[in-house]
Structure 1
Amino acid sequence: MNTSIVRPTQLRAGSQKTQWINRLAIHFKTSVFSALAALLLSMVSINANAEAELPHYSGKARLGSQTCGGSTCHGAVKPWANSAVLQNEFVTWSTEDKHSEAYKALSSDRGKRIAKNLGIKDARQEKVCLDCHADNVPKELQSKNFDIADGVGCETCHGGAVEWLGLHVSGFGQRQDYLNAGIYPTEDPKARAKLCLSCHLSDPRKFITHRIMGAGHPRLAFELDTFTANQPAHYRIDADYKQRKQQSSGVKVWAVGQAMAAQITVEALLDKNRNSAGIFPELVYFDCYACHHSMEEPRWEKRESVNIGPGVPRLNDSSLVMLRVLANAVDPTMATKLMTQTRALHESSSKGQDATMKSLGDLSTTIDGLVEKFAAADFDVSAMWKIYDSLVSEGLKGEFVD
């Protein structure tokens, strides 16, 4: 069958049929080019999202969370029925989200005890505390409505609004325009994990040490999909959201979060600035329960993936164990490689810094590859069943000891 488009010159000039086919040809070409342009733009956007600068370091001025809290903006008591967004996001954050209590935690009984143990007079004045318990940007970036007591507020995660608020209020502009103006792409799992883990684990410019943990700081734990759901979410994924933003399944968000946690852990271990205060690696990167347990309870068990004997502190490999489970569903060969490299890391940790750094470098390359694979993976029903099977299998082997 001949499916080629009839050229206008083959028909009578000025006929309705000629005009119809002309319009059809133009529409076809326009649609194809538009689709290709959209595809290329989305590919560029996804890559740019992953590399987006964290709001904490963007240098964008803050207008303050109260700016978002008007009754006709995001301060409604209840969600609006006929709105593309809920409109009550500020109320949800201020009444239900623990991030709004982050600054207050510094003056709680526990916060005061940690500060006292560290020799700090007031944690609310200390950069090391404020960097994660508030939107601790320089004074020159704080507008008159900015209040550091808001804790981890709107702009801490969504980025300084000084350049994108106008677009936001007007309703004009596409998603990429907002990103260009400095809004942070929290809908992208990689970008969201990078943002959350910068405080819930570490980043090159703000990191928690074993000294802070020893002073009484709660243990750091994080899982991207669960934490997102428990925040609680102050958005809904509807047709409008799907049209404008990237949508990812819970499994993908979980997988990317685990991979990013492993990646950031390895990066931290490779960073000499985060391992310069005494013992290497910094004690905070070891499994807490490798040392902190009752001597009356004989609880040591050999693990296949660790391959070190009793009495040797082991690195916290929780994200690596889960990463191996996920990798087995996406790329079994890489899962086996990850297992081998994880064992090598544990063995090298008692052989000196050079051996450890070599193992970390090998592991880092593998994890970087898995981050990209997970970001592109479909995680269909078949993959999920493989994950279930691997979880049970690894559990029976005693890999999930904590």
Structure 2
Amino acid sequence: MNKGEDLFCSLACAMRRLCTQGARKPAGLRLTRGWHGLVAVVVLWAGTVLAQALPDQAPAQSLGVVTCASSLCHGSIAGWDGSPVLQNEYIVWSRLDKHARAYALLLNEKSRAIASRLNLPEPAHQSRVCLDCHAHHPAASAPRPAPAHAVADGIGCEGCHGPAQRWIAPHTAPGASHAGNIRNGLYPVDQPLARARLCLSCHFGSTDKYVSHRIMAAGHPRMSFEMETFTHLQPAHFKIDADYIRRKGNIDGVRIWAIGQAMAVGTQIDILLDPRRGRDGAFPELTLFDCHACHHPMADTRWKPHTAFGRSVSPGLVRLNDSGMLMVRLMLRQIDPAAGERFTQAVLQLNQAVAGNGDLRARALALKALAEDAARRLAAGGISHENLRAMALALVDDGLAGAYPDYAGAEQAAMALGSIVNTLHKLGQLTSAAALNQGLTQVRAVLQYDEAYKPAEFQDRLRRFRRLLASPPATP
């Protein structure tokens, strides 16, 4: 494990607690040269990727984890020398990955209590509303799984890589290729657009399955999403070496972070506009809004006349959760300031429409289009590494200017800093990774409990971190 991996392991392990508890234009950070000529191709490719059915919806039979678990397949105790893959993927997943224990969580007392409070007709481990994300549980429209398939395996191989019926035999044949496997139904989880769509479907929600305000009120932890951090929270059962890069490419962490945030904004809009998910009786679906606008003492007046996107909605009206929007705004202002301004205005107009001033659907779709365009542009070409430090400084400066008054925004800012700093470290552009890591630890320390979050404390930690970040980069 190299030093860059060591640093990110430190960052990710600390963020694990953060993610589960509580529940001015700098010199442009550009898309790498040549992306303009790739956009048309990538838009077509992205359309293909995004059109591919998610694993639980795919029109193929799920065969079960045991199909992959042989010691001659992916169940070797140790990795093989000379193999293009490690061959021990099943062992890593079953022993170390929390996805393997997702179903088991439904058997504990907390899950039983949630099911009881929701008056579910079946216990949690038998209820589709729970199994949809705590197991690979194919939709009713999908082919019936093979007898070896077991929901008790949790989120198994096919839950992420797609039902194996059509690709399991060809993927080991002589001359097999990654592109061919995808054509046969393997889900392209190595590609950020597709990975974001898959991960978001459970770690944020979709129009098909969603952790609603009712479910959270019954005891489910608060949901948040950041794809780069979440990717590193579980042990990798792959190795990015020369062979991997030849077959699948190598996409840096900052790009994964940015694409994940842009896709999350699009998903949020989909749910907001969905007639089944976007409303709950007379109320909107409250999980789409800033939780802590309501979840605080009455005497703690938190309304501010302005937000990072402009004039705030009137006191007494709840803002959309704009934490992901803040990150997309940050990224766009670096790669295309004009697009960043359009995005800022689109968020402002959507907030006005939510408050009753304007066409909600039209403004929501306009914002979604900008977010999806950002995701496609990032898929077309990587972000230049030249000014990553400027991007991190802009993020900190936004915080010092008051852009993160609520917990969700501060949480996303901290995770984004982790991704950017880790990439800087891997590029050898930090003078003292240890000092910055300690600085990030101090930033995260004020985010341990959402109900205890104090914006002034977060700003103080950001101010200290900025001094470390502004030090000259390491010389080659």
Same fold (TM over 0.5): yes
Question: 1:55-66 residue pairs with structure 2 within 5 A?
Answer: 55-66=55-66
SS state of the match for residue 169, structure 2?
Answer: helix
Q: 1:346 to 1:158 in 2, by over 3 A?
A: same
Q: 1:41 to 1:293 in 2, by over 3 A?
A: closer
Q: Deviations over 1:40-59 (max 9, x none)?
A: 99886554223322111112
Q: 2:377 corresponds to which residue?
A: 373
Q: 1:88 corresponds to which residue?
A: 88
SS state of the match for residue 53, structure 2?
Answer: coil
SS state of the match for residue 100, structure 2?
Answer: helix
Question: 1:217-296 residue pairs with structure 2 within 5 A?
Answer: 217-296=220-299
Q: Deviations over 1:280-320 (max 9, x none)?
A: 53112111111011335444444432512433211111110
- Report how far residue 348 of structure 1 moved: 2.1
Match for 1:157: what amino acid? C
Q: 1:341 to 1:45 in 2, by over 3 A?
A: closer
Question: 1:125-140 residue pairs with structure 2 within 5 A?
Answer: 125-137=126-138, 138=140
Q: 1:140 to 1:195 in 2, by over 3 A?
A: closer
The answer to whether the 8 A contact 1:55-1:184 is kept is: yes
Q: 2:14 corresponds to which residue?
A: none
Match for 1:390: what amino acid? A
Gaps of 5+ in 1: 1-39
Instruction: Say which of 386, 389, 399 aligns to 2:393.
Output: 389
Q: 1:358 corresponds to which residue?
A: 362
The answer to whether the 8 A contact 1:199-1:207 is kept is: yes
Cα distance in 1, alignment partners of residues 328 and 279 from structure 2: 28
Q: 1:43 to 1:63 in 2, by over 3 A?
A: same
Task: Give identity over the alignment, percent.
Answer: 38
Instruction: Say which of 316, 321, 334 aligns to 2:339.
Output: 334
Q: 2:468 corresponds to which residue?
A: none
Residue 182 in structure 1 maps to residue 185 in structure 2:
yes
Q: 1:98 corresponds to which residue?
A: 98
SS state of the match for residue 202, structure 1?
Answer: coil
Q: 2:112 corresponds to which residue?
A: 112
Q: 1:313 corresponds to which residue?
A: 318
Q: Deviations over 1:55-90 (max 9, x none)?
A: 111121111111111112111222223322111111
Q: Matched residue pairs, number? A: 363
- Report how far residue 116 of structure 1 moved: 0.9
Q: TM-score, normalised by structure 1?
A: 0.85
Cα distance in 1, alignment partners of residues 181 and 46 from structure 2: 14
The answer to whether the 8 A contact 1:60-1:162 is kept is: yes
The answer to whether the 8 A contact 2:135-2:153 is kept is: yes
Cα distance in 2, alignment partners of residues 79 and 303 from structure 1: 55
- Report how far residue 145 of structure 1 moved: 1.3
Match for 1:158: what amino acid? H
Q: 1:278 to 1:41 in 2, by over 3 A?
A: closer
Residue 70 in structure 1 maps to residue 78 in structure 2:
no
- Bigger Rg over Cα: 1
SS state of the match for residue 70, structure 1?
Answer: coil
Cα distance in 1, alignment partners of residues 383 and 127 from structure 2: 43
Q: 1:152 corresponds to which residue?
A: 155
Q: 2:203 corresponds to which residue?
A: 200
Cα distance in 1, alignment partners of residues 173 and 397 from structure 2: 54
The answer to whether the 8 A contact 1:124-1:130 is kept is: yes
Q: 1:46 to 1:369 in 2, by over 3 A?
A: closer
Question: What is the RMSD computed on CA atoms of the aligned residues?
Answer: 2.2
